[in-house]
Amino acid sequence: MQNYQLTAPCHFGLEAVCKREIYDLGYEITKVEDGRVTFAADAEGICRANIFLRTAERVLLEVGRFRATTFDELFEGIKALPWENYIPKDGKFWVTKATSIKSKLFSPSDIQSIVKKAMVERMKREYDLTWFPEDGASYPVRIFLMKDEVTVTIDTTGESLHKRGYRKMTSKAPITETLAAALIMLTPWHADRILVDPFCGSGTFPIEAAMMAANIAPGLNREFISEEWTNLIPKQLWYDVIEEANDMVHTDIKVDIQGYDIDADVVKAARENAKRAGVDHLIHFQQRAVADMHHPKKYGFIISNPPYGERLEEKENLPELYRQIGEMYRGLDAWSMYLITSYEQAQQYIGRKADKNRKIYNGMLKTYFYQFLGPKPPKRRNNEESH
């Protein structure tokens, strides 16, 4: 089976998490750039990456790379690529996105228009056609220019991978599913440890954690644009990978995952989302203020996305809110706390400096992932571990 170069875009600052996921799937990493991990895989790898990757935004199939500093060079570079190997004569193709960073060619609309023209020229020659019906499967093209190097890809995913299909209802300022999964993976949390999100909103952190605990592949209940690419990916491969994913699910596990929010409507929405994800029986959701949160057990985890105060009227409440977070945390015995927030004075009002602090871009917003580390639980005896 033919091998391809596939690229998984991910959040800036979380490339290492995405890289580990791809490596764990069994694929060879060929390049890591800012917000992108490239790896080698076959057609089955396209299916597996889309269905199993929790932290990637999409899976892109690389058609080629070349340098271009003029629109003529761009046109000739695109025309030289073997488009007929990827897009059939009835394929629907368009340039869905062009991104340019530190490059001489910087107008996305001009880049998109020239790329499409060059693709048509190439395919006219190869297919001996003067007109393309474009009534078959869709092949959306994405172009990236970085320091005048052009990377040409076709998107195998369609709707971004953060759209797992479970989140119909969202709270204000929700965190994406892919970012939530990546942040959980940055912590040492495992399914046998308590996890609480005191600002659960639409439930993304608890739901992603429960899906990990139950080994539910994030792409199991959605569709991908490349499912229609029968010229490149036999339908049977999709069925095989879905069967592989279904065989790995174990929803009868025992976990202690909790989500709280002060807004009753938001808690109700979170329950609905968890139900759609198939993990509502694994999460306890409750309306509760952060000041009222307590837990009798030790060695738990708080992983949360507290309010940032992006609106002016909310900013006034932030010092008191983060003071309450600090008090709540001090009342817990030997817990660890992980918070993502853009609030610069978070540590000051929590009343403790984070043990680790990681800068992460949430879209265009610079945020910090503050990590307050509690002690590790004592090692269990061997018979308990085997149990």
Q: Provide the pLDDT confidence category of residue 128 given band limits of 50, 70 and 90.
A: very high
Give pLDDT, residue 386: 44
Domain spans of the chain? 4-155, 177-217+232-386
What span, in angstroms and rounded, lies between the C-alpha atoms of 187 and 371?
9
Kindly write down the DSSP assignment for every residue of 140-180, as one continuous string. EEEEEEETTEEEEEEESSSS-TT--S--SS--SSPPPHHHH
Output the pTM of the full model.
Answer: 0.94
In which residue are the tokens 């499912």 written? 227
Distance (Å, whole) CA 356 – CA 13: 14
Question: Is 19 in a helix, a strand, or coil?
Answer: helix
SS3 state of residue 101 = strand
Going by C-alpha positions, the residue among 123, 162, 156 that lies closest to residue 137 is: 156
> CA nearest 279: which of 262, 304, 255, 309?
255
Strands 257-261 and 336-341: unpaired
Q: What angle do CA 156, 7, 78 make, to 5 degrees?
A: 75
Task: Kindly tell me the sign of the dihedral angle through the C-alpha atoms of 193, 257, 15, 166.
Answer: positive
Tokens 């680790």 found at: 356
Residue 309: which pLDDT band, with cuts at 50, 70 and 90? confident
Q: What is the mean pLDDT of residues 307-330?
A: 86
Can you say how many angstroms the Cα of residue 162 is from the centroid of all Cα atoms in its chain? 5
Residue percentage of the chain with pLDDT more than 70 = 96
Pick the range with the lowest mean pLDDT from 126-130, 261-265, 378-382. Answer: 378-382
The tens digit of pLDDT for each residue in 175-231 reads 999 999 999 999 999 999 999 999 999 999 999 999 999 999 999 999 999 999 999
Give Cα 32 to chain centroid, integer Å: 16
How many Å apart are CA 184 and CA 206, to the nearest integer? 10
Confidence category of residue 314, pLDDT binned at 50, 70, 90: confident
The total of other beta-carbon atoms located within 10 Å of residue 110's CB is 14
Nearest-angstrom CA–CA distance, 245 and 216: 7
For the chain, the residue count is: 387
- Measure the CA–CA gap between 274 and 74, rounded to whole angstroms: 47
CA distance 286 to 299: 21
Question: What is the CATH code for 177-217+232-386?
Answer: 3.40.50.150
Mean pLDDT of 58-74: 98
Q: What share of the chain is helix, strand, coil (3-state, %, to 5)?
A: 35, 25, 40
Report, as an integer, the average pLDDT of 258-278: 96
Q: CA 261 to CA 86: how far, in whole Å?
A: 48
Q: How sure is the predictor about 384, in pLDDT bands with cuts at 50, 70 and 90?
A: very low
Look at residue 365 and tell me whether its pLDDT is greater than 90. Answer: no
Q: What is the mean pLDDT of residues 271-293?
A: 97
Please give the full DSSP string across 173-210, using - where no structure is assigned: SPPPHHHHHHHHHHS---TTS-EEETT-TTTHHHHHHH
Confidence of residue 51 (pLDDT cuts 50, 70, 90): very high
Q: What is the pLDDT of residues 2-40, one digit of tens each?
A: 999 999 999 999 999 999 999 999 999 999 999 999 999
Using an 8 Å Cβ cutoff, are 86 and 152 in contact?
Answer: no
Cross-strand bridge partners of residue 340: 369
| One CATH from 1.25.40.10, 1.10.630.10, 3.30.70.100, 3.30.2130.30 for 4-155 | 3.30.2130.30
